[in-house]
Structure 1
Amino acid sequence: MSNTRKPGLPPNPHAAAAGAYDSHAQAHTPDQREVEARVLLKAAKAFQAIQSRWDEVSPEELEGALTYNRQIWLMFVDTAVEDDDPARPVALRNNIANLGVFIFNQTVDILASPEQKKLDILIDINREIAAGLMSRPSEKKDEDKGGL
């Protein structure tokens, strides 16, 4: 069967739609780093909202936000532990895993003894990691060249 269209026949509307969808998806799909940064910022924003209404927040709402954050970090830790991609140095993967363990311990501490102030560290870590994810790798290399 030939891929060419017979003269006089209209183009296949399904193929045209699929091609248009593919072009749109490629142009508008964020990269993985951007997605990860966004979910970290979403968790940080949820923690800030809880802090601003601390006296009105239910234990279930706090637990939900902590669970969401823990799930994000669980994915990071799993990827760090399972991924043996040489482009990701062992030291970086170890740091991510260690940071994840810290997040998990903080989560348990907050659940055991909820205090508004304890959310600060989770907010700060999520923001800092998100900022790093949103910076382009080439920008990071340029900064390293001019560093100490």
Structure 2
Amino acid sequence: MHQQGAQAYQQTTKIVESARERESALLMKAAAGLQRVKDEWAIGTDQELRAALTYNRKIWTIFMAAVTKDDSPLPTEVRQNVANLGMFIMNQTREILLDLNPQPQQLDVLVRLNRQIAAGLRGS
């Protein structure tokens, strides 16, 4: 019986770890896309900026939906923090999209937040 419990725990741990790794990878992908747009600002297009921002917004929309579900296993404080970060990111994204003359440094906060959350998910 004890071995079954240990196996169940290991399987659950693998599922949770793989979900966290997947979320971390998605955030890193979004950060990389935003960073690439920033690095290539002078030669980039408005379409590339919109695509990177849209991808990032989709990722955060999914995260926000997941943490606000009633069955989320996360503690209330963590859920609230992720939701607040998500709202901040949505607002920043909207401001950049509505800006008639966006600047590359406006992407810094989005890149930094994605990288920090991804590192936290990886436990580093």
Partner of 2:27: 40
> What's the C-alpha RMSD, in Å, of the aligned pairs?
1.6
Question: Identity across aligned pairs (percent)?
Answer: 44
Q: What is the TM-score when the length of structure 1 is the normalising length?
A: 0.68
Give 1:98-117 correspondences, 5 Å limit: 98-113=84-99, 114-117=102-105
Asked if 1:78 corresponds to 2:65, the answer is yes
Of residues 110, 113, 120 in structure 2, which corresponds to 1:122?
A: 110
**Partner letter of residue 67 of structure 1?**
T
Number of positions where the alignment pairs a residue of Structure 1 with one of Structure 2: 107
Asked if 1:59 corresponds to 2:43, the answer is no
**Partner letter of residue 112 of structure 2?**
D
Deviation, structure 1 residue 35: 0.5
Higher helix share: 2
Deviation, structure 1 residue 69: 0.3
Residues 73-95 of structure 1: per-residue CA shift (max 9 Å, x gap) = 0011001111434x411111111
Distance 2:54 2:81 in 1: 21
Higher relative contact order (CA 8 A, sep 6+): 2
Partner of 1:95: 81
The 4+ residue runs of structure 1 with deviation greater than 4 A are none
Q: What is the TM-score when the length of structure 2 is the normalising length?
A: 0.81
**Partner letter of residue 119 of structure 2?**
A
Unaligned runs of at least 5 residues, structure 1: 1-26, 137-148
Distance 1:115 1:83 in 2: 39
